[in-house]
Amino acid sequence: MNILQINSSQRRTASQSTKLADRIVRRLRDTNPDAALTVRDLGANPHPVLDEAALTALFTPAAERSPEHAQRVALDDALIAEIQAADVVVLGVPMYNFGVPAQLKNWIDAIARAGVTFRYTANGAEGLLRGKKVYVALTRGGLYRNTPADTQVPYLRTVLAFLGMTDVSFVYAEGLSMGAEAEASALASAHEQIEEAVAA
């Protein structure tokens, strides 16, 4: 089993979403001790934004790319290779201003490549990253689960399904900025959700 862990908090040691993602990986490895793990920390190693230079590089045929173009495309290629090789993907996702962190969006922009991770057919779009299990550890200061203010879950469900990843379990830790008691109870609940998710 190959596990790919993507951390998107900009905090290193204090990140609750990274701690929850770590816990999911630990629990998966309890039952799969030989599982290989690749960790990509988008806070420590930010991926470049999809700007005009990147788009030009991506849309230039490989044989015609300048060294700078090739270098830029290679950065995305590395992320695509990692997710193609993964059987299980674990995402640590804080809520930043009602959305996913910009770094996670940059990662998604990098792995979504027509003809490689999805393709258009006569029947519509088809995801090519199939057969993967995805766990998402969500952390929020407030409470948004199952409300219209939670743009993260519908967005992640949609884009992951578009790429072929339809087996997704979400673990919520909410109310982390609502006092020590609320935080402790949110984390205890998240730990229970992890046990249920890995046992499923």
Ligand X SMILES: Cc1cc2nc3c(=O)[nH]c(=O)nc-3n(C[C@H](O)[C@H](O)[C@H](O)COP(=O)(O)O)c2cc1C
Q: Kindly indicate which of the ranges 28-36, 76-84, 125-133, 139-147 contains the residues binding ligand X, using the contact rule CB under 6 A.
A: 139-147
Residue in 16, 103, 117, 152 binding ligand X, rule: CB under 6 A: 16
Q: Tell me the two tokens of residue 13.
A: 């040691």
Interface with ligand X, residue 119, by CB under 6 A: no
Interface with ligand X, residue 15, by CB under 6 A: yes
Q: Tell me the two tokens of residue 186.
A: 């949110």
Question: Smaller CB distance to ligand X: residue 5 or 15?
Answer: 15
What is the smallest separation between the CB atom of 74 and ligand X, expressed in angstroms? 29
Question: Smaller CB distance to ligand X: residue 109 or 174?
Answer: 174
Residue in 139, 171, 194, 197 binding ligand X, rule: CB under 6 A: 139
What is the smallest separation between the CB atom of 24 and ligand X, expressed in angstroms? 13
Q: In this structure, are residues 13 and 41 in contact, taking their beta carbons and an 8 Å threshold? A: no
AA letter at 55: L
Annotate 119-159 with DSSP letters as a single string: EEETTEEEE---S-EEEEEEE-SS--TTSTT--HHHHHHHH
Q: Where are the alpha helices (DSSP H) in 41-91?
A: 52-59, 67-85
Residue entry with tokens 């629990």: 27
Element (H, E) at 167: strand 167-173
Q: In this structure, are residues 199 and 193 in contact, taking their beta carbons and an 8 Å threshold? A: no
Residue in 31, 51, 55, 98 binding ligand X, rule: CB under 6 A: 98
Instruction: Tell me the β-bridge partners of 127.
Output: 118
Question: Smaller CB distance to ligand X: residue 35 or 178?
Answer: 178
Instruction: Name, in order, each residue with C-beta under 8 angstroms of 53's C-beta and a sequence gap of 6 or more.
Output: 68, 72
Q: Kindly indicate which of the ranges 8-16, 49-57, 58-66, 75-83 contains the residues binding ligand X, using the contact rule CB under 6 A.
A: 8-16
Interface with ligand X, residue 177, by CB under 6 A: yes
Interface with ligand X, residue 170, by CB under 6 A: no
One symbol per residue from 78 to 97: x for binding ligand X (CB under 6 A), - otherwise; what is it? ----------------xxxx
| Short-list 1, 3, 33, CA closest to 21 | 3
Look at the alpha carbons of 137, 142, 148, 151 in this order and tell me if their dihedral is positive or negative: negative
Residue in 5, 17, 106, 193 binding ligand X, rule: CB under 6 A: 17
Binding residues for ligand X, rule: CB under 6 A, are: 9, 11, 15-18, 94-98, 139-142, 176-177
